[in-house]
Structure formats: structure tokens, C-alpha cells
């Protein structure tokens, strides 16, 4: 499974990228707004940090507007992935852009039927929002299972990018289902490291090492 980080905070991205565990970045207008920087500027900065796909979302909701914005965004860097909503105009733009060799992330997916349409439109990624489904009493992981079953049956190349991830268990369950990517807020990505038995074991090892009075370097 690939790990993307869902943020526009370049300091966080640099820190996580240095671990070697980061495969890409997803952003949205809300995340970019928090930085106080110009949208194109922040996307350029992120693309210089991360070699993998960097999702940059269009603000327009009509086809012509999406295409105009997409042409601007994809010129920023080769790893820009144009993010479009799962609407008729969004899928039309997706089909046109992927036909030109541009990576496209179709976002705001909440049903298997929508995911099927995204794959038919040639999306590079489809982003089902598991946490938001859980919030309204539906099962986000059931949706991932349905999408993976459909995609595997037809050998679609579209990658399932699990979004709205709230906890490590979302990541683990999505990985067990074979999802290709999970995009995580920095705190959730960092929480994957945590286990009390790891902390306890490390403390015991260090205490025993200290008793030897030795150094390695």
C-alpha cells in the first residue's frame, strides 16, 4: 500500500518525506487556505519536496472551467495530479485529461457505482471517503470492499485511494482489502508507529544496556 499525506503544510511534508515512507500528497482548497499562501505557489513547493503524485484540486464546477484550471495546474510540475469532483462535468474533464496523459484523482466518491464511473472515465485514482460514510452510519470499509471487487473483476487500472481516514484501523482494514493507496492526515500517519508494548520493550532494552556501561560509537 502506498501512503500519501493529506496536508498542505510543507514542514510536515518535509518531515514525513525524510522518513522514506511517503509516496505522495493530497491537498484540497480547505487545506491550502490554512497555509495563507497562493494556491499555485504551495503546490509548486510541495511538488519540489515529493517526487510522487501531488493532488491539486480544481475550484471550478463546470467542464470548461475545470479544463482551464487543469491546464494551469499541470504546468506547475510533472507530478501534479489534477483533482476533480465525481460529477458529470468532473468525469468528462477526467476523460479528456487522462487522454492527454495527465494524472487525475476523482474525489468525493461515496458509492461503488460512482467508483465504476470513475474507472470508466480513465481516472488514475478514485478517492472514496470512508470516514465521512462512517459518520452518517454507513460502512466506509464495505464501500472499499465493493470497489476492490469490481475493479479486480474488470482489471481496471484506476487505483483506489482511501480518503477521510480517521484512525490506524482504517489503514489496516483498507490494506487487508487490497486498496492501493491511503491518504492520511499527519497525526494519523504518525500514529501508525505507536504501540505501548514497543515503548515498554524499548525502555527495558535501554535500561539493560545502561547497566553494561558500554558505548557503540
105: confidence class by pLDDT, cuts 50, 70, 90: very high
176: confidence class by pLDDT, cuts 50, 70, 90: very high
Q: Tell me the pLDDT tens digit for each residue of 9-49.
A: 999 999 999 999 999 999 998 999 999 999 999 999 999 99
Q: Structurally, how many domains does the chain consist of?
A: 1
Q: Per the domain annotation, does 171 fall within a domain? A: yes
Q: Per the domain annotation, does 216 fall within a domain? A: no
Q: List the CATH number of the domain containing 175.
A: 3.20.20.70
Q: Is residue 159 classed as helix, strand or coil in its secondary structure?
A: strand
Task: Find the catalytic residue in 37, 38, 83, 120.
Answer: 83
The pLDDT assigned to 35 comes to 93
- The whole-angstrom separation of Cα 85 and Cα 138 is 21
Told to judge if 176 belongs to the known catalytic residues of this protein, a careful annotator would answer no
Give the domain range for residue 193. 2-211
107: Cβ contacts below 8 Å, ≥ 6 apart? 28, 55, 57, 83, 84, 85, 86, 127, 163
Q: Per the domain annotation, does 217 fall within a domain? A: no
Q: Per the domain annotation, does 122 fall within a domain? A: yes
Amino acid at each position: 500500500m502506498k501512503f500519501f499525506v493529506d496536508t498542505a503544510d510543507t514542514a510536515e511534508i518535509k518531515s514525513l518525506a525524510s522518513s522514506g515512507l511517503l509516496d505522495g500528497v493530497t491537498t484540497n482548497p480547505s487545506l491550502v487556505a490554512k497555509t495563507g499562501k497562493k494556491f499555485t505557489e504551495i503546490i509548486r513547493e510541495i511538488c519540489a519536496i515529493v517526487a510522487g503524485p501531488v493532488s491539486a484540486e480544481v475550484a471550478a464546477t463546470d467542464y470548461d472551467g475545470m479544463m482551464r484550471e487543469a491546464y494551469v495546474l499541470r504546468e506547475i510540475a510533472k507530478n501534479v495530479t489534477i483533482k476533480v469532483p465525481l460529477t458529470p462535468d468532473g468525469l468528462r474533464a477526467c476523460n479528456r485529461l487522462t487522454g492527454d496523459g495527465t494524472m487525475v484523482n476523482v474525489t468525493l466518491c461515496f458509492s461503488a457505482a460512482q467508483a465504476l464511473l470513475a474507472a470508466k472515465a480513465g481516472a488514475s485514482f478514485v478517492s472514496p471517503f470512508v470516514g465521512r460514510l462512517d459518520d452518517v452510519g454507513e460502512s466506509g470499509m464495505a464501500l472499499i470492499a465493493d470497489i476492490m471487487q469490481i475493479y479486480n473483476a474488470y482489471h481496471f487500472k484506476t487505483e483506489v485511494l482511501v480518503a477521510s481516514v480517521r484512525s490506524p484501523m482504517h489503514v489496516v482494514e483498507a490494506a487487508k482489502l487490497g486498496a492501493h493507496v491511503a491518504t492520511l492526515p499527519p497525526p494519523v500517519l504518525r500514529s501508525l508507529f505507536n504501540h505501548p508494548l514497543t515503548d515498554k520493550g524499548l525502555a527495558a532494552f535501554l535500561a539493560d544496556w545502561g547497566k553494561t556501561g558500554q558505548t557503540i560509537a
